[in-house]
A and B are shown apart, each in its own frame.
Chain A
Amino acid sequence: MEKHSLFKKFVMLFVLSIILFILSNCNKKSINLNKSNNTTATIDLKATNNNTIKLNGPWEFYWNKLLYPNDFNDNISHDSLVDFPFLWNNYKLKNKTFNNYGYATFRTTIKNINKNEIYTIQVKNISTAYRLFINGKLILSNGRVANNREKMIPKSYLKSADYYANDNNLELILQVSNFYHFRGGIFDPLVFGKSDVVKKLISKHLILDTFLFSSFLMIALYNLALYLFRKSDKATLYFSILCFLISLRSIMTGQYLLVQIFPTISWELQHKIEVLTIYFSFPIFLLYFKSIYSNSIGKKFLQFIVIISIMFSIIVIVTKCSTYGYFLLYYQALLAISTLYIIYCLIRIYLKNGIRSSYTVFGIVVLLITIINDVLMANSIIDTGYFTPFGLLIFIFSQGLMISAIFSKRFSKIEKQYKKQVKIIKENLTKYSNLLNNAGQGFLSFNKDLIIDNEYSKECIRIFNYEINTMKFTNLISTDKDEKIFLKSVIDDVFKASDEYNENLYLSLLPSEIDINNKTIAIKYKVIHSSINSNKKIMVILTDITDKRKLENEMEKERKILKTVVKVYSNKKIFIECLNEFKNFYRNDLNTIIKSEIEIKDLIYNIYIKIHTFKGNFSQFNLPNIVDNLHEIETKLSEIEKLMEQGAYSKSKFISFITSINYEELLDKDVNIINKHLGEDFFNDEDLIHISKQKLIDIEEKIVSYFPFDESKHIVNELRKLRYVPIKSMLESYPYYLEKLSKRLNKKIKPVKIYGDNFLINPDIYTDFIKSLIHVFRNSVDHGIEPPDVRLKMNKDESGNIKCLIKRIKNKIIISISDDGKGIDIIKLKNYLIDNNIFSSSEIQNFSKSELISCIFNKNTTTVENTTTISGRGIGLNAVKQELEKLNGHFNIYTETNLGTKFEFIIPYKQELLSEQLNITSIMKPLIKSVNKYCKNELEKQTHKFDSKKIKKAEKVDLYELSAFINISGLLHGKFILSIEKKLVKSIVNKLFNDDINKYNEKAIFEDFLGETANIILGNCLDDFDNLVNMIRISSPVTLFSKRSTIKYPFIDCWIYNISLNKGNIKLIITSSQNKFYNN
């Protein structure tokens, strides 16, 4: 801080002293002597010790006279004695003013010079032409002196001449004329002295001027170079121009180097350039100033100065000195005021920026002071000499210093920033490459030349097994020559594409999936536009989907096997029949056929037919291997047949071929699959299901894990149903049992019948309960049904009647068992209850009849005196009650004496299925909607209102003449059939293609129409099948033409919906191979 304040003080002191110096010199104005006309002007050299003298005066002044040495022989009186510098325009003499334009003669005598010595006289700036006589001899002249403008030629530059003194006194006569400059007279005093001294002085000045000129020029060029390297920094440009102007000016003033080098330059031009340098310099200086301290000077001020300067410059260019010269004064005034303003700004800057602005402040202050000095000097107000060049030099050096300081400061700042940025970039780069390397996807990019860039993610190496940089992209993804050429031209077009649209258009032609090194790779492409230049790159994203594909394939395989297993299992009987037939074929039939004496051709044909049939049979079960194996044999057989025709194959050869096949082995793989899933026992028993429950549950679990839930639930339900059994089958052993029992008890009963609904129940849940029903049946036979003789007496049929009725009402199962026996003896029951202290007699009074009867289900309650092995212990019915309670069921007992008893058990129906079946309505309704939409577009404006009651179920369906079949695979394994009456098709097709149709193409058009129509109808409603759309696939339609055809799929229901339109009928048929549908 102290240093700063010291510096500040120093600057202030400096400025102050300069101002004082200027003021002290500001004195000489109009102190011209008004001496007597008759005194002659002399300058005594003795008075000065110096070897040179400025010939300030006094000089005799002769106005409007051009006097030659001879003229002074006559006594001519001068107007006045004057001192140089002398400008006559402001000069007053006896109330007489002098015009700027005019001419005059000056005379003086130098005394006491050394005789026989060579002297040199130097004349600098005289406005604007002169002649100098010494001792009557013309020594020096510049321009042409004349008494009018036309004759005179202005010229003004430094000149000097030698003179050999042959006398002690020298008479100097100086003729001056001016009709050009706005100021006439002598600006600089003549310099006189011994030749060697003056010459030394001149050369000293010359060297100085040259030095200044070249210094400014060098600085100008240096800064221009700086600017060219960094065009954003205007300060260097302004500074360069400023220096250039100053250098130009420096050779136009002082020693007038320019004119000395090019003496032919006209005075007018020389002067114009000189003035213009002032008009240019100032605004350039301000621009420079502002570019360094942007807030230093007002924008409006700057604009004002620039405009004014331009205007002044124009005036200079278009007018002559006599005109523009006057304006110079105004400009100088402006300059002076501006200077004050700039000083004010400088102080502000200095206060604000302190030391940082010291270079500028110092330089400008010095410059300003020298400028002020020179302005004053030029106006002859002071006589200090011209300092501007030095001021400028100091200023420029200070600026150069400052620019260097700024630059080095900026550079170190940038360097620091750069290092920081580099660090950040490096960090980011590592971050991104980590990200890309660990993304598990291959990223790479390439340019127009197709060469892979060095930056690609690690996954690429794993995918391609080698480093891929410098590889060509086309070679990377293709090995086929033609394909490479194709890819290259497509990629070229991507690069050539002018917009995103075309880029994407061509990118879409590149492969989206390739197989490479046993891997499946999905490829995505993206065009990347560089933000820096207009270069394009294509980025490629590679994703290894091998595992996904493998898994998909494996799942598909497993899915197929499971489907096979389910199919085999649910059609076991048929399957085993097929199997046995096949076994029978190769064990027995084959030999018989071979041995039969038929022609070889027929022999082959017979075997061919057999094999073909087996192939068909097995393919029903989707068996993966045997079908292919049989297909191979079939192919071989047809080959043999051909060879046989050519006589190239013998019967014995054929027989040895056909018998050499190991048929057992053909089956092995498939049999093993079934064994694996269904257990070895599966094939042992041909009629009864022999499969462990656990096996089924395993399959279930497997399916759940391999199939999507929505799909699995249907298959699982199918499987579960296989574990379930029809309720009647669980009861079916009772009739036989009861028949035997009644015989043992010497009772007669009619065969017990089980009536009512049959439905699947989960045996795990209901077995115990249904087994317990034995007690109820037993009771009926033992206690209910009377002995035959008793029955006859009572006019009853001698055979008792026991019935079992099963009903399912919503989610309740009702099993009722009734007999027409004697009924429950309520009195006996009452007594029993009282006797055994189960209830008191008073309690029993309050019991209703049914309450009382239900007591027989209590433990140890019986109405029988003698227990038998069969019943009577009062235990059995209680066991039923316990089982019933486990299922949350309840019972009712209805009994009438001698008429019979009816037990009614009501239990909840539990299915444990994953979901309900598909409601056919949910499929049919969208289909009808789609048909309606289609009809609306294509046919008469007739629509059909959907009515779910119109959905019919049938085992076989009659088709109309034209039908289209679409296979539906996936969840809804089945078919969609669209059957249309020919007349309707005809009317539609005629309407659509009326002119194009003829009997030759009719059929083709019908086919075309039918297939597409089926596609449209089914396709348009896929989205409306809730949740199903993703789980089903539809094949292309197959069309059928036939007069009268019926379809029937064994064991499969067809769901039909008829639509009657004015022009004919449409039949929509949906089948599901697994009978997935129900209708409510």
Chain B
Amino acid sequence: MANILIVDDSMMMRRNLRLIMEESGHNVVAEASNGKQAFFAYATHIPDLVTLDISMPGEDGISTVKRIISKFPDAKIIMITALQQKQMVYKSLKNGAKNYIVKPIQPQKVLDTIEEVLKK
């Protein structure tokens, strides 16, 4: 069971993700609503895994990936993305994200992806 950091600007989305993760036994160590917070939360908690919304006001997901990976190259980041954002997903993957989940999220898909990324 992993320590997870959830980054999303929607409070409800964060809650949903947290419920899904906690129900399956993961430990949500922190939540952040923007890239800046996310970076500091990562530095404080060094979680096993991060779920990161690809589009957030201010610093977007890709820049956040860059920022975290540049300091913590081993960070495991899963992007949360809408259907039509393949190019952004690609950029995040190239910058070090490990996988992505397409919204609307399905709990099983979320857990499977987390499992997969943790295994790697």
Contact = CB atoms under 8 A, between A and B. Distances in A.
B10 interface: yes
B12 A1008 contact: yes
A397 interface: no
Nearest to B89: A509
Given A505-B99, A1012-B16, A996 B87 contact: no
Interface in B11-27: 11-12, 15-16, 19
Given A1008-B11, A1012-B12, A937 B19 contact: yes
B90 A489 contact: yes
B15 A1012 contact: yes
A509 B86 contact: yes
B25 to A, nearest CB: 15
Contact of A1008 (B10, B90, B116, B120): B10
Q: Which of B11, B19, B94, B120 has most A Cβ within 10 Å? A: B11
Interface string B83-120: 00011011001100001000000000000000010001
Contacts of A1009: 12
A736 interface: no
A501 interface: yes
Contacts of B19: 937
A477 B12 CA distance: 38
A993 B89 contact: no
A486 B12 contact: no
B116 A486 contact: no
A29 to B, nearest CB: 84
Nearest to A1010: B12
A996 B90 contact: no
A486 B11 contact: no
A1005 B120 contact: no
Which of B12, B86, B94, B116 has the most CB atoms of chain A within a 10 A radius of its CB?
B12
The interface size bin for chain B is 10 to 19
B11 A993 contact: yes
Residue among B10, B90, B94 with most chain A CB within 10 A = B90
A172 to B, nearest CB: 94
Interface in A1003-1031: 1005, 1008-1009, 1011-1012, 1016
A509 B10 CA distance: 25
A585 interface: no
A419 B16 CA distance: 66
B11 A1005 contact: yes
B115 to A, nearest CB: 12
Nearest to A937: B19
B16 A490 contact: no
Contact of B90 (A486, A992, A1005): A486
A506 interface: yes
A521 B96 CA distance: 32
B19 to A, nearest CB: 7
Contacts of B99: 505
Nearest to A489: B90
Interface in A597-623: none
Given A490-B90, A1008-B10, A992 B120 contact: no
Contacts of A493: 93-94
The interface size bin for chain A is: 10 to 19
A870 to B, nearest CB: 74
Contact of A996 (B11, B89, B93, B94): B11
A506 B94 CA distance: 10
Contact of A509 (B11, B15, B16, B90): B90
Interface in A446-464: none
Nearest to B87: A486
Contacts of A1005: 11
A1005 B14 CA distance: 12
A503 B120 CA distance: 14
Contacts of B10: 1008
A486 B86 CA distance: 9
Contacts of A509: 86, 89-90, 93
Contacts of A506: 90, 93
Interface string A486-513: 1001100100000001000110010000
A501 B120 contact: yes
Contacts of A1016: 16
Contacts of B90: 486, 489-490, 506, 509
Contacts of B116: 501
A1012 B14 CA distance: 12
A1016 B15 CA distance: 12
Interface in A932-948: 937
Nearest to A485: B87
Contacts of A501: 116, 120
Contacts of B86: 486, 509
Nearest to A938: B19
A755 B87 CA distance: 72
A509 B100 CA distance: 10
A158 B99 CA distance: 85
Q: Which of B10, B93, B116 has the most CB of A within 10 A?
A: B93
A1011 B104 CA distance: 14
Contacts of A1012: 12, 15-16
Contacts of B87: 486
A513 B12 CA distance: 32
Contacts of B11: 993, 996, 1005, 1008
A937 B19 CA distance: 9
A490 B91 CA distance: 10
A509 B15 CA distance: 27
A264 B10 CA distance: 96
Contacts of A505: 93, 99
Interface string B52-89: 00000000000000000000000000000000001101
Nearest to B106: A1019
Contacts of A1011: 12
A489 B15 CA distance: 35
Nearest to B14: A993
A1032 B12 CA distance: 25
Interface string A900-944: 000000000000000000000000000000000000010000000
Nearest to B16: A1012
A489 B120 CA distance: 23
Contacts of B15: 992, 1012
A42 to B, nearest CB: 101
Interface string A973-1014: 000000000000000000011001000000001001101100
A489 B93 CA distance: 12
Interface string A324-342: 0000000000000000000
Nearest to B19: A937
A987 to B, nearest CB: 16
Contacts of B12: 1008-1009, 1011-1012
Contacts of B89: 509
Nearest to A1001: B11
A503 to B, nearest CB: 12
Contacts of A1008: 10-12
Interface string B1-41: 00000000011100110010000000000000000000000
B92 to A, nearest CB: 11
Contacts of B93: 493, 505-506, 509
A501 B120 CA distance: 9
A486 B10 CA distance: 29
A1012 B89 CA distance: 25
Nearest to B119: A501
A509 B84 CA distance: 10
- With a 10 A CB-CB cut-off, give which of A490, A505, A506, A996 has the most chain B CB atoms: A505
6 contacts: A490-B90, A501-B116, A505-B99, A992-B15, A1008-B12, A1012-B16
Given A506-B93, A509-B86, A1016-B16, 9 more contacts: A486-B87, A489-B90, A509-B90, A992-B15, A993-B11, A1005-B11, A1008-B10, A1008-B11, A1011-B12
CB-based closest 3 A-B pairs: A1008-B12, A1012-B12, A509-B86
Interface of A: 486, 489-490, 493, 501, 505-506, 509, 937, 992-993, 996, 1005, 1008-1009, 1011-1012, 1016
